[in-house]
Structure 1
């Protein structure tokens, strides 16, 4: 029963009580009229729903600013014509309402709607509800169909050219197509040419062939990119800065995954629960695929209890001790002194690049000791700033 329906019920009760006690025939007449109206309206709820309803959401993941189409399908399996049906689809905090007209026997009708992905996050869509009620709105019968579906709104990312910084020569690293005369992984022999290092002459082969032969090596390199994303409210001036930081972290992480490089993306945990195993001071986001990383970045939120960038970087250095380059992503509320303190918590030999996100600011680059500090005002500035820092 709707609010209006309960109002009519109360009016009927008051009419009967007041009419008979005070002898007012008008009140009694109105009370009986309300009773008949309630009885007739209740008849609209009698019967069962013989149709079937489904919810289709072709795209489960979109980028901020896009729209995801959805479709409600209504099928009439009976041998008679079905009257129209009212349908409601909860979308986040909103509600999509529409009326599907009469459906012939054995036919199917559909209604298409759009979900606006205005902000990063997870938008619940559904479950679909059908509404039956009387024309006056006294009664309302809801029936839930289909299951709730979640739409992931990923942060916006940009393509970044190949990052060449952070490569370390390592015998156990990944083999490359680069052939060099000075490395640790033997590849082949070739004839000596003027200028070759005589230390790499292979004397036994030279004696057999009668010409000098030198060793060639296949360059093996190891690269582990670490992206540290602070979630503490104290690191950012507002939500806009934080959204830019999430997009920057996603762009760097996605690029490393596409480039088949080892990557760790580490975000803040809750300092209040840092002593527990369930919610440590930091947490590693999934980097096995681009989709999983963006899914995890979709749900991250800044919090007053999150670990700040200084403490987070120290913990991240322990979790990814073999990192060769670290990107520290933070907001304008973080000072250069704090960034230097954060960089000091990483193992020696790690290239540290801090990215300060301040929407609207002009891109800038400065070096403070061994630390490179990049300031970006727009996501596209990340690409230009990396090029200026000679790391791409």
Structure 2
């Protein structure tokens, strides 16, 4: 360091660090020194004052920010007010200034009295909106899955968690397309009250219960304040089903495989002996018969197959004459599918797909229902509804046969309007080795079993006949 100082003193060139100054020589930098930092900036400030700075620009921006905040706050409170004022309340609010102004203008005393009376009514109605409820309201549904016709109910529970006595409230509970009312009386601190209401289960479907809301309203009906307390719950009303013993479903081959009329060289079920031909396996040679006849004889077996059950349900309106037949068909599909799932069989349940109303052409597709468990299948069956644009039974059979492989037994379920010719045409869509059974739901016909060109047609008038019809078909 000393040598450097000596060299500088002798007139040698010295190194001086550059000062932190801008292009103009000022030691303090500003935004003007970095034009790329603000050029192209597009935000609320630039849209109001551009790239200007200074006191006037900051004042304008502050005023605009205050106006935006005031507008947001005003709109929030205005939305709350307009949400609680009824149409009658708006009429009263309009009549109050009109009657007072007109009454004082033309010195009409009676009209002035009417104006003050309306103002007093509006003021008393506003009092009903103030105050907070001490209650905590909850919704409980006893059973989320019931069968058609079973009793089902829900419960509304109110509990006073405050430190003072609560006022009585009326809770509204939407149940499907109707409303149930629960009156919760005044409660002491720490006490609770419950109200039970019925849930209609006379029709199959999914019923939405809730959300529970309380209503504060004045006696005149000028204001109405709704408070939502709970979320909605779903209740599945399953179709009615019956238990079908496995022994009565002889049409369905066992899980391990039952012998068929097709012959195979290797299988379990022995059929007969035949003479050996080149290519046969030596392990199938029957040595005792070979020694007796002097010729090689091999075993021949009947081919066994693992059952794959297909249940096809038509949703076309034209395939049923009334709702009773359709509901019976849904129950038949649920009974067959649930029993097959309990027996651990391979089962596929499909229903007609609908064509959109404004589609250019018919949609050939089926909707597969869940067969993971019997409950999941019945849940899906609660949602199916017949429609005019749904595929008819023939198209359902054709699409199902194309999309499902390894089918051993196919059940086609329909109503009384499907003719024998249509049933025969639907059965031909499956392979020749597939056992096709058509179940016709017709309460007006005589129950029975008939064979139509390799097709078994079961006619039932009510659900309980399904068990006997399957037993007769298995015996035949």
TM-score (norm 1): 0.83
- Contact in 2 for aligned 1:360/1:378 (Cα 8 Å): no
Match of 1:194? none
TM-fit CA distance, 1:268: 0.9
* CA-based RMSD: 2.8
TM-fit CA distance, 1:221: 5.5
Counterparts of 1:34-49 in structure 2, within 5 Å, are 34-49=118-133
1:325 aligns with 2:409: yes
Match of 2:256? 174
Separation in structure 2 between the aligned mates of residue 151 and residue 49 of structure 1, nearest angstrom: 29
Match of 1:294? 378
Counterparts of 1:109-188 in structure 2, within 5 Å, are 109-162=193-246, 163-167=249-253, 174=256, 184-185=267-268
Match of 2:191? 107
TM-fit CA distance, 1:103: 1.3
How many residues were matched structurally?
356
- Contact in 1 for aligned 2:257/2:307 (Cα 8 Å): no
Displaced runs of 4 or more, over 4 A:
199-203
User: CA offsets, 1:257-280, max 9 Å, x none?
Assistant: 11211111011112459x9xxx86
Match of 1:284? 368
Q: CA 1:368–1:16 in structure 2 vs 1: closer, same or farther (change >3 Å)?
A: same
Match of 2:336? 252
User: CA offsets, 1:90-136, max 9 Å, x none?
Assistant: 00110001210011112222111110111111111000001122233
Aligned-partner SS, 2:152? strand
Separation in structure 2 between the aligned mates of residue 272 and residue 88 of structure 1, nearest angstrom: 36
- Contact in 1 for aligned 2:311/2:410 (Cα 8 Å): yes
Point out which structure has higher relative CO (alpha carbons under 8 A, 6+ apart): 1
User: CA offsets, 1:19-48, max 9 Å, x none?
Assistant: 345543112201211111110121111122
Q: CA 1:247–1:391 in structure 2 vs 1: closer, same or farther (change >3 Å)?
A: farther
Q: Highest Rg: 1 or 2? A: 2
Match of 1:26? 110
- Contact in 2 for aligned 1:235/1:332 (Cα 8 Å): yes
Q: CA 1:200–1:89 in structure 2 vs 1: closer, same or farther (change >3 Å)?
A: farther
- Contact in 1 for aligned 2:331/2:463 (Cα 8 Å): yes
TM-score (norm 2): 0.69
- Contact in 2 for aligned 1:327/1:355 (Cα 8 Å): yes
List runs of 5+ in structure 1 lacking aligned partners.
177-181, 187-198, 204-214
TM-fit CA distance, 1:18: 4.8
| Structure with more strand by fraction | 1
Query: Mean Cα displacement is larger for which, 158-167 or 246-255?
Result: 158-167
| Structure with more helix by fraction | 2
Separation in structure 2 between the aligned mates of residue 174 and residue 20 of structure 1, nearest angstrom: 97
User: CA offsets, 1:38-86, max 9 Å, x none?
Assistant: 1012111112233221111121111111221111111211111111111
Match of 1:346? 430
TM-fit CA distance, 1:10: 4.9
List runs of 5+ in structure 2 lacking aligned partners.
1-84, 259-264, 270-283, 289-298
Separation in structure 2 between the aligned mates of residue 127 and residue 202 of structure 1, nearest angstrom: 78
Separation in structure 1 between the aligned mates of residue 179 and residue 98 of structure 2, nearest angstrom: 35
Match of 1:57? 141
Match of 1:195? none
Which of the residues 209, 230, 235 maps onto 2:319? 235
- Contact in 2 for aligned 1:66/1:116 (Cα 8 Å): no
User: CA offsets, 1:338-366, max 9 Å, x none?
Assistant: 11111000012111110111234331221
Separation in structure 2 between the aligned mates of residue 387 and residue 140 of structure 1, nearest angstrom: 63
Q: CA 1:380–1:113 in structure 2 vs 1: closer, same or farther (change >3 Å)?
A: same
